[in-house]
Amino acid sequence: MKHFLFKPLRDWFGFTRRERRSSFILLIIIAIVAGVRFIVPASKARVDMVSLELTELSGDTIRQKPQAAGKLTSVQKERRNVPAAVIELNTCDSASLEALPGIGTILSARIIKYRNLLGGFASIDQLKEVYGLTQETFDLICSRVKADPSLIRRININKAEYKQLIRLPYFEKGEVTGILKYRELTGSIDELSDLVDKKIITEEKARKVKWYLEF
């Protein structure tokens, strides 16, 4: 019985030295291959878990962004409470006008051109007379602009020539001719009401041009 049990051992150990060495190397290779099969899946699982954790963290961060965005810093609150600067139409440049909502390069150039033609704005309502400036745009900017009538360049009605008077957009040719004839007859015009009384201009026209004339 003993002889039968130990016979395989004798057979195994009966290998030559070269055979035992080859067998040992083969066992090492098998052990390495088996180890890799267990090690690699575990590493992949760890990578997957890390990726999942990062994804969840990223998701939490994204979900938290709207909450963070809803909170204003003290500096942002101060800026929010500061009212927008009001632009003076008779002294501003085109860049200031372009900063207004609805006013681009073309409209800003037209506003300045009309201001020069008038001699200045007496009221912000005169912006409605600028070609291309709609009521909607005026409603957007009316709280952001002002007009100082004291800055208007006035025309001396008793010294001005035809070209100077007709340059004012509110005057018609017939009105300018009538003013010059009346001035020639009377020597001078004392008040704007004199022109209204003589039917040279209407009361409505007098209200428009009063800001641009001096006597």
Contact 118, 213 (CB under 8 A): no
Q: Is residue 107 part of a domain?
A: yes
Q: What is the pLDDT of residue 113?
A: 98
Dist CA 162 CA 174 (whole Å): 11
> Which residue matches tokens 């590493």?
43
The domain of 126 spans: 87-151
Residue 120 backbone dihedrals phi, psi, to 5 degrees: 135, 165
If asked whether residues 143 and 167 sit together in one domain, one would say no
Find the CATH number of the domain harbouring 147: 1.10.150.320
Q: Is residue 110 part of a domain?
A: yes
Q: What is the pLDDT of residue 29?
A: 80
Total number of domains in the chain: 2
Dist CA 177 CA 198 (whole Å): 13
Contact 212, 168 (CB under 8 A): yes
If asked whether residues 147 and 201 sit together in one domain, one would say no
Residues of the chain with pLDDT under 50: 1-6, 9, 42-68
If asked whether residues 161 and 173 sit together in one domain, one would say yes
The 10s digit of each residue's pLDDT in 65-103 is 444 455 656 655 555 655 678 999 999 999 999 999 999
If asked whether residues 144 and 189 sit together in one domain, one would say no
Q: Is residue 97 part of a domain?
A: yes
Dist CA 100 CA 84 (whole Å): 10
Other beta carbons less than 10 A from residue 129's beta carbon: 13
The 10s digit of each residue's pLDDT in 149-169 is 999 999 999 999 999 999 999
Q: Is residue 139 part of a domain?
A: yes
